[in-house]
Structure 1
């Protein structure tokens, strides 16, 4: 598809040596700086995400988790699960004794061990060429000397005043006399700068042990939390093998649970049963099939996907041809499924995303998150760490896939991805947007594979998603009105979304021409760049 240059939009970025795509311009610049110095894709990704933890504090930071896929030029790949577990004392019976029947998003009980910093260090030891002392330099500088608030960041910040007002230290850090900062406001975070400097000098242990780790535990304890210094000190990153499944001649790689990557593969498998390429990419049939496939797949997710040590089934059983055939058979082209009972599904047995490809062909697909915007809203008073609330997906009730348990890793929505063609790296990509991400992976890939869009057009294309509880559709305003009307005729409850849905970055690798093509979502502040 050719871009209409009379319409607002972006061209994809073409480069020969290296490419970067992030959701913030300062992060993209930090990655390019490292690449120009001779660092590799892993080094550049760490430098970029550290900057994002300062300049996009609502989306990511050292108080969150991360997942990464690293792919060698020959197609060999390894995944890194940088998510932390629940405190050892966090058992259903404990919460029953405390009288806690559900978790609130700003509760200390939703804070699981932040796994990001340990994962960054593990990743650098395995594949990097630089140390934290160099790679955190830009992030430390922005935190200490100041940065300007970007427009999309300011927009999101303004929607979180109530959350940011709950805890004193968070209010002092993230509101200005009780108000959110406007775009262009210069902010400084000297406490966070000191913490990043400690990590730069002492590595991940400086975060998980000693005064910083003790302060995280004591801050949560004062709010009734159960996390201890021992829980933090025990944090580790797990190396995992990605799950692979083909889609129309392309091999798609996702990380296994506790992430939802297997659900992206399940959606693609269902959609492959229909002739998607014959449908209008903005038409009601395409979106109806995508939403129905996603509704079924997410019901499967909520029923089964969690920490693999606690799953009743093997995740591979969710992407077998026989199981996918059964689920695809539930879909009618002319009407919405009224109900998707969980009993019919057993098989037979907010966030930043960035990607970097370097001159040697090493590809990094990297995602780092606080879960909800500004995470738990809890900030440590001395170290300035904003803690995530990934444990909000847990329930204190026993006997469920998402029941909390000591050391258990929660279900994660954040999922990096890679795609191979003829066994070699072809697309490094990811989608932001909480629960939307698995659906977003399928949407982006089908835009490229079925409809021939370049990476930027595929990212720009209109989106929709559903409320994960009511299944009512939220539709971006750029979706044609006739499509919305037809979806309602099929039985979907639909409304126009009040804000853009998610974000995405992608880099396509053309080995024959020796060209990288990168795209970054205009729904965010960032951009793609190349060398």
Structure 2
């Protein structure tokens, strides 16, 4: 018998000793991952090889002809697709997804937070904007608020940081204009999940645990945490990955909203409960504050980047920063700089530093301050700022431009068979929010008020009844006057930086919708003027954080150029996208999801 036939015929256990003797000595045992552990880190091991597309992409783009949706939680995306299949509009699907995420992903969103949207209206042939950002309570005077500040800012948690929730009003305004299904139908999936329960996803379990530890630690400064414990620690501990979880209080709240519409929340039984709760804990929000809130349709800001139209929400957000960064980078040969090269990242980060100086100096509620938006968004100003950047070294003294004298988040996107596309973002701001949960309502209030300034003369200075500066921004891009990308990147000050990287990856580096999001990211922290989210210890040039996928040669070169390179800390945002493609006279949707989260994109 030939040797090969013999070895194939004998039992594996008998052949193993002889085979092992012929091999080199075994290396030291590798670490073993236990399911449920937060992380299994093997820097020497990389993802498998893909036969098509970008080598670093985590999955393929999802294609469909009739509709598409992407969110940070697979069950929410499924709910959105089912709404579309029932004949609902992309707006109907987005509302259903958001309601589901309020239960499934309370670490990022909920009806206690604010909402913004950009949408392509096929009937009007243009991009519309919706801003539903709540105001500070009228009873919280400047003097009272200032007495609660620490290091010049309101605390991250507690009643002083709470502003009126804008989400439900935003849903209502969107549905009134673009809804097809009955309002109550949109809440059926979320109610069923909250009552019946679902296993908690890995990322969400991790962040619930972190948030509850912060809320319940001694000295957290929160007026009341028993309600939060009841909802998210019903058995004395936060749920672990895979644990079944329910929120019957939130289900009851959703039923009230489903039956009573917007008014149930702002001028009805929910508003009454909220007022009683804040009176009980010594807070300031009243039913009158809630009843006064209105969502606002707004004209988006817009610029072009190499012929591509890019839209952003203005109002009290940082949407303008994306446009400023792109306007500056248009003056450089980004394609020639090279994908993931030191020069490419250097130019992007320098553009960010310039834009964020203006962000810290000028951005605010335009109802209370004359924000020079036209000047900041102009190509002329961008050319002036671009001349400050040097390709071989850092700018040492970065300051905001001199204006003329005139003066933790979830993202999801949907598209439908009629061509309506909606880019929607919704947040409680930092983590789960303020730590406060009104009696029996099952959701947490946002802590967005922390981003108010108390610097005299600053346009974002605190005032009762004023909207605070907002970090949450949806993204949208058009091509040749038609909708192209409905997309977003979540995560505080990372959002304009992430949106810019997505646009560059698509236009300058030719990546598809999925690879553009999976590509390693950079995140720059630090500004000479803080908006409340910076730690303040980043130094004069800030800290440039790079994901592990950035080439080592790029890291070395950036450090040699003077950048302070920080560790990868997970603060690189999370992305969803629906792209419209015209193929052979037919509309095709391409959907992509974020590999840094639990989410998924689907199409049909």
Aligned counterpart, 1:427: 485
In the alignment, is residue 493 of structure 1 matched against residue 543 of structure 2? no
Where 2:503 maps in the other structure, the secondary structure is: helix
Task: Identify the match of residue 352 of structure 1 among 410, 413, 416.
Answer: 410
Deviations 1:151-185 (A, max 9, x none): 11122223223223251211222135553321111
Give me the whole-angstrom Cα distance separating, in 2, the residues matched to 1:345 and 1:26.
48
Aligned CA distance change for structure 1 residues 346 and 498 (closer, same or farther; 3 Å): same
Contact 1:106–1:163 (CA<8 Å) still a contact in 2? no
User: Bigger CA drift: 381-390 or 2-11?
Assistant: 2-11
Contact 2:142–2:464 (CA<8 Å) still a contact in 1? no
Contact 2:57–2:519 (CA<8 Å) still a contact in 1? no
Contact 1:92–1:398 (CA<8 Å) still a contact in 2? no
| 1:25 to partner: Cα distance | 0.4
Contact 2:491–2:571 (CA<8 Å) still a contact in 1? no
**Which protein has greater RCO, CA pairs closer than 8 Å, 6+ apart?**
1
Give me the whole-angstrom Cα distance separating, in 1, the residues matched to 2:128 and 2:247.
35
Give me the whole-angstrom Cα distance separating, in 2, the residues matched to 1:2 and 1:246.
34
| 1:210 to partner: Cα distance | 2.8
Aligned counterpart, 2:345: 287
| 1:347 to partner: Cα distance | 4.9
Which has more radius of gyration?
2
User: Bigger CA drift: 175-184 or 133-142?
Assistant: 175-184
Q: Write out aligned runs for 1:270-309 (5 A).
A: 270-309=328-367
Deviations 1:314-344 (A, max 9, x none): 31211112211111111111111223234x4
In the alignment, is residue 412 of structure 1 matched against residue 470 of structure 2? yes
| 1:133 to partner: Cα distance | 1.0
Q: Write out aligned runs for 1:127-526 (5 A).
A: 127-165=178-216, 167-175=225-233, 177-342=235-400, 344-347=401-404, 349=406, 350-468=408-526, 469=534, 470=538, 471-499=542-570, 501-513=572-584, 514-526=587-599
| 1:6 to partner: Cα distance | 7.3
- Unaligned 5+ residue runs, structure 2? 1-49, 527-533
Aligned counterpart, 1:106: 157
Contact 2:157–2:447 (CA<8 Å) still a contact in 1? yes
Q: TM-score, normalised by structure 2?
A: 0.84
User: Bigger CA drift: 490-499 or 133-142?
Assistant: 490-499
Give me the whole-angstrom Cα distance separating, in 1, the residues matched to 2:139 and 2:348.
41
Give me the whole-angstrom Cα distance separating, in 2, the residues matched to 1:20 and 1:34.
10
User: Bigger CA drift: 259-268 or 327-336?
Assistant: 327-336
Contact 1:476–1:500 (CA<8 Å) still a contact in 2? no
Give me the whole-angstrom Cα distance separating, in 2, the residues matched to 1:498 and 1:163.
18
Aligned counterpart, 1:91: 141
Contact 1:40–1:129 (CA<8 Å) still a contact in 2? yes
Contact 1:92–1:403 (CA<8 Å) still a contact in 2? no
Deviations 1:271-323 (A, max 9, x none): 11100011221111111111111111111111001101122333121111221
Where 1:267 maps in the other structure, the secondary structure is: helix
Give me the whole-angstrom Cα distance separating, in 2, the residues matched to 1:7 and 1:423.
32
In the alignment, is residue 48 of structure 1 matched against residue 97 of structure 2? yes
Contact 1:25–1:525 (CA<8 Å) still a contact in 2? yes
| 1:72 to partner: Cα distance | 2.1
Give me the whole-angstrom Cα distance separating, in 1, the residues matched to 2:524 and 2:472.
17
| 1:97 to partner: Cα distance | 6.3
User: Bigger CA drift: 163-172 or 18-27?
Assistant: 163-172
Aligned CA distance change for structure 1 residues 323 and 20 (closer, same or farther; 3 Å): same
Give me the whole-angstrom Cα distance separating, in 2, the residues matched to 1:433 and 1:345.
29
User: Bigger CA drift: 270-279 or 154-163?
Assistant: 154-163
Give me the whole-angstrom Cα distance separating, in 1, the residues matched to 2:102 and 2:192.
12
Where 1:505 maps in the other structure, the secondary structure is: strand
In the alignment, is residue 80 of structure 1 matched against residue 130 of structure 2? yes
Aligned counterpart, 1:14: 63
Give me the whole-angstrom Cα distance separating, in 1, the residues matched to 2:160 and 2:431.
17
User: Bigger CA drift: 294-303 or 377-386?
Assistant: 377-386
| 1:500 to partner: Cα distance | 5.3
> Considering only aligned residues, what root-mean-square deviation do their CA atoms show, in Å?
1.9
Where 2:367 maps in the other structure, the secondary structure is: helix
Contact 2:148–2:154 (CA<8 Å) still a contact in 1? no
Give me the whole-angstrom Cα distance separating, in 1, the residues matched to 2:471 and 2:233.
28
Aligned CA distance change for structure 1 residues 348 and 494 (closer, same or farther; 3 Å): farther
- Unaligned 5+ residue runs, structure 1? none
Deviations 1:448-507 (A, max 9, x none): 011100000001000111223422122211111221121111111112213251111111
* Paired residues, number: 530
